[in-house]
A and B are shown apart, each in its own frame.
Chain A
Amino acid sequence: MSALLTVRDLSVHAGRQTLLRDVCCTLHEGEALTLIGQSGAGKSLIAQAIMGNLPASLRAGGEITIGTASSRAEDVAARRGLWGRRIGLLPQEPWLALDPTMPILRQIEETYRYVRQDAGPLSPARLARDALARLGLQGKERHLPHQLSGGMAQRVAFAAVLAGGAPLLIADEPTKGLDEAMRDEVVTLLREALLEGCALLTITHDLEVAAALGGQVQVLQNGERVESGACTQVLSKPRHPYTQALVAAQPERWAPLPPNAPGRLLLAAESLGQSLGGQRLFEGLDLSIRAGERIAVSGPSGCGKTTLGNLLLGLLPPDQGRIVRHEMRPHGFQKLYQDPVAAFAPRQTLRRSLRDLCALHRQPVARLDGLLEDLGLGAGLLERPPGGVSGGELQRVALARALLLEPSLIFADEPTSRLDLLTQQQTLEVLLRSAEARQSAVLLVTHDRHLARWFSPAQVILDTRSNPDTTADSSHGSDHSVRSLPAGVPPLSAALRTPQAAQHRAPRRAPAAVR
């Protein structure tokens, strides 16, 4: 059996700097290869170099063979003709890859019509209809992407890629920023593609995804391969210290946090209810927050986690119920955002933004410098615009910005869901240390069940799917009872690791009008 993909001595350079060196891999039919590593390790460069769409400022070297077509890595045009037919790239956020104004059937049909070469006697429309039916989307052919749930949109995007008939698929961070149910769905789709004989090259920083896909694993650090081997071997018995650090950085392996003693009451919410876009998010939610307390908020995407935070922060008035605020300082409640880049004025240097903040609150700039040093940030960082700083560092700048006002409550809205494991651990440690030193309460929104469980026994679980009548489950109150997870929902890691996972689909959320 000949290999579908052979990469020999692939390297990527930016000027004189080497970003990636000596990458070799071979993939046969039905095989999976997963590249893991921290962001900035050069994982995505490999995918771009193989596809031939590296940014113009970078130069690739080495040899890439796709099917029978061999070409030098720098010969980009040679591989462009293979796109879709011999090599397919799965989009990172699939709903962004769909045309919002075209019915989904036509989007898939056009791949069959214009890209597929060995389509056979059936018409492209018929093939597209069959493909949708196989993915459980019959009856939705005329729907536009926004009328589908996130999971369905994902399946449509997959169908569109698979329609080209490429036997080799590359998935670059296919689960970044997804909640557990959607991540499960992506992994299921990838496994199905494997079973059908595709070769799969996946790039991820999520070790659970790597474990679920199986096959071979390569671990990259700073553009170099530090470890490779069979997935189970590498993940269960990592040899290289970097791999060991990565494995240890998974939230389920973190050392438990010591319990903390909450102080005075900051805020009490009584029978809170809220709708968004005509959809009831939650109702009857009681919640009290005390100084220094840690509370985890979890639930699937679109269940109102962010909205709950905005209510508590006073950014939105509640539809039902009331919020009694016992913290009277004007800027005592602060927020951290999922995408820190979006939380800063984009066209100013960070120094300018922070200096303005110091001036507004009559704080000496030296205090800010002290804070930044505490959080392990160099002063040179501030000369850049927010887009020029890495996600983990920028999240810490955002934290420094919030801490300048000595907040009594920090609402952290998935602050680490876009960060890789090591950076996530580092960022959360810094957040907790700073909050503890100031007796600030932290409300952590996360879709990672392990992370939520590690963070606090006090959990608010919002779930619009399971029980539409009591849409909000708040177990939490002054008594701090521990809310166990709803029975019958298996922990994700277990679901992913069983071979039946390919047949199992997570329960689907009703189509949401608002994503």
Chain B
Amino acid sequence: MNVDLALTRRQRIGAALLVAIALFCAAGPALVGDPRVLDLMNFLSAPGLEHWLGTDHLGRSMVARLAHAGQLSLGLAALSVLSAAIPGVLLGIVAAWRGGWLERACVVLADSVLALPGLLLVLLLATLAPGAFWPLYLGLALAFWVEYFRVVRASARSILASPAVEASRLLGFGSFYLVRSHVWPELRPVLLTLASFGMAAAVLAMAALGFVGVGIKPPRPELGVMMIELLPYYQEAPWLIAAPVLLLTLTLLGLVLIRPQEAVA
């Protein structure tokens, strides 16, 4: 499958942004020092040469914490988005293709997951293994796959019923080709949109879980936890809470920018 490498200017900016964030999160922790070192004489300081993004309420270097938090949060968010998207997309396509009892079974399953609050699922898993990461990510994946399933099933159904697919069938193309050339190109932009908002939702969900004491707890740096921790210091040091918010916003911006544009008719 040849990928169209000709990116638009927008897409190049988005890609550059994402690469920069990925580099910061991947290599950052090794370069910017230990996020656990307390400098209690020097708390809530403004960004400067020593601490590029200032220090938090305990005098810890914000840039070090941000790099670690980014790695953990964005990594976990990406993982949970992927593990929600892959089964969701596959089930959606299979359900639209096969129809019948298989489709009905998938729909019933999806609807019953939808009926449960996602938080409840995660809490349930978290009680099985307190403090571990895997219940978090598994719970998020279980709560989020439904939207991929529903969106993919709905659009795959209409695509598979289109004259273009009928023509391809008459011409002898097999199911793999139909999915690759007809279904996937239509789904890709929708999925990228879903995935970018899914990333944000996953980060915020982890923060919320941390808040109720199930998720990642301080002092481990995590974007959502940092936002909650730093909110009380908003008056004295607004740049502190701005840092994790900005990192998340830029990540989403990058994801939105790399999305292929709808062809303008």
Name the one of A331, A335, A357, A385 contacting B263, with C-beta atoms under 8 angstroms. Answer: A385
Partner-contacting stretch, out of A209-217, A339-347, A444-452: A339-347
Instruction: Tell me whether B193 is interfacial, beta carbon within 8 Å.
Output: no
* Cβ–Cβ contact B172 & A331, under 8 A: yes
Taking residues whose C-beta sits less than 8 angstroms from the other chain, chain A's interface range is 20 to 34
The reply to whether the CB of B181 lies closer than 8 angstroms to some CB of chain A is yes
Asked if B129 CB lies within 8 Å of chain A CBs, one says: no
Interface of B is mostly: helix
- Give the docked Cα–Cα distance between A199 and B4 (Å): 52
**Contact status A333-B167, CB under 8 Å:** no
CA distance A242 to B230 in the complex (A): 77
Distance in angstroms between the alpha carbons of A330 and B173 in the assembled complex? 12
CB distance from A64 to the nearest CB of B (A): 26
Q: Confirm or deny: A337 has a beta carbon within 8 angstroms of a beta carbon on chain B.
A: yes
Known contacts A345-B164, A348-B185, A334 near B172 by CB under 8 Å: no
Which B residues are in CB contact (< 8 Å) with A313? 170
Which of chain A's residues 394-417 have a Cβ closer than 8 Å to chain B? 398, 401-402, 405
- In the assembled complex, which residues on chain A have CB atoms less than 8 Å from the CB atom of B177? 356, 360
A471 to B158, CA, bound (A): 30
Distance, CA A387 to CA B168, complexed state (A): 17
Residues of A within 8 A of B162 (CB): 342
Contacts of B164 in A (CB 8 A): 342-346
Q: Is the CB of B166 within 8 A of A345?
A: no
Q: Assuming the A-B contacts A387-B263, A387-B265, are A345 and B181 also in contact, with contact meaning beta carbons closer than 8 angstroms in the complex?
A: yes
Bits for B233-265, please: 1 = Cβ < 8 Å to A, else 0: 000000000000000000000000000000101
- Cβ of B172 and Cβ of A337 under 8 Å apart? no
CB distance from B166 to the nearest CB of A (A): 7
Q: A16 within 8 Å of B by Cβ? A: no
Contact with B163, one of A337, A347, A385, A401 (Cβ below 8 angstroms): A337
Q: Which residues on the A side are within 8 Å of B163 (C-beta)? A: 337, 339, 342-343
Counting chain A CB atoms within 10 Å of each CB, the highest count among B167, B172, B182 belongs to B167
Q: Is the CB of B167 within 8 A of A337?
A: yes
Give CA–CA (A348, B173) in the complex, Å: 15
Contact B172 A361 (CB under 8 A): yes
> A343 near B173 (CB under 8 angstroms)?
no
B8 to chain A, nearest CB (A): 15
| A122 sits at the interface (CB 8 A) | no
Q: Among A333, A339, A360, which residue has its beta carbon within 8 angstroms of that of B173? A: A360
How far is B167's CA from A353's CA once the two chains are assembled, in angstroms? 11
Q: Which residue of A lies closest to B174 (CB)?
A: A360
Report the minimum CB–CB distance from A327 to chain B (whole Å).
13
Question: For A361, what are the chain B residues with a Cβ–Cβ distance below 8 Å?
Answer: 172
Q: In this complex, what residue of A is CB-closest to B165? A: A345
A494 at the interface (CB under 8 A from B): no
**How distant is the Cα of A27 from the Cα of B242 in the complex, in angstroms?**
64
With A345-B181, A345-B182, A385-B263 known as contacts, the answer to whether A315 contacts B166 (CB < 8 A) is: yes
Q: A357-B171, A361-B172 are in contact. Are A335 and B166 (CB under 8 A)?
A: yes
CA of A343 to CA of B171, assembled, Å:
12
Q: In chain B, residues 141-184, which have Cβ atoms closer than 8 Å to a Cβ of chain A?
A: 162-164, 166-173, 177, 181-182
Question: Would you give the shortest CB distance from A78 to chain B, in whole angstroms?
Answer: 27
Query: How many Å lie between the Cα of A342 and that of B166 in the bound state?
Result: 10
Q: Which of A331, A339, A345, A348 neighbours the largest number of chain B CB atoms within 10 Å of its CB?
A: A345
Q: How far is the CA of A212 from the CA of B177 in the complex (A)?
A: 49
Q: Could you tell me the distance between the alpha carbons of A398 and B166 in the complex, rounded to whole angstroms?
A: 13
Give me 30 A-to-B residue pairs in the complex whose CB atoms sit less than 8 angstroms apart, sorted by A's number: A331-B171, A331-B172, A334-B170, A335-B166, A335-B170, A337-B167, A343-B164, A343-B166, A343-B167, A344-B167, A345-B164, A345-B181, A345-B185, A346-B164, A346-B185, A347-B186, A348-B181, A348-B185, A356-B173, A356-B177, A356-B181, A357-B171, A357-B173, A360-B171, A360-B172, A360-B177, A361-B172, A385-B263, A401-B167, A401-B171
* A residues with CB within 8 A of B: 313, 315, 330-331, 333-335, 337, 339, 342-348, 353, 356-357, 360-361, 385, 387, 398, 401-402, 405
> Interface on B for A, CB 8 Å cutoff?
162-164, 166-173, 177, 181-182, 185-186, 263, 265
The 10 A-B residue pairs with the shortest CB-CB distance, nearest first, are: A347-B185, A342-B163, A343-B167, A343-B163, A331-B172, A337-B163, A345-B181, A345-B182, A343-B164, A345-B164
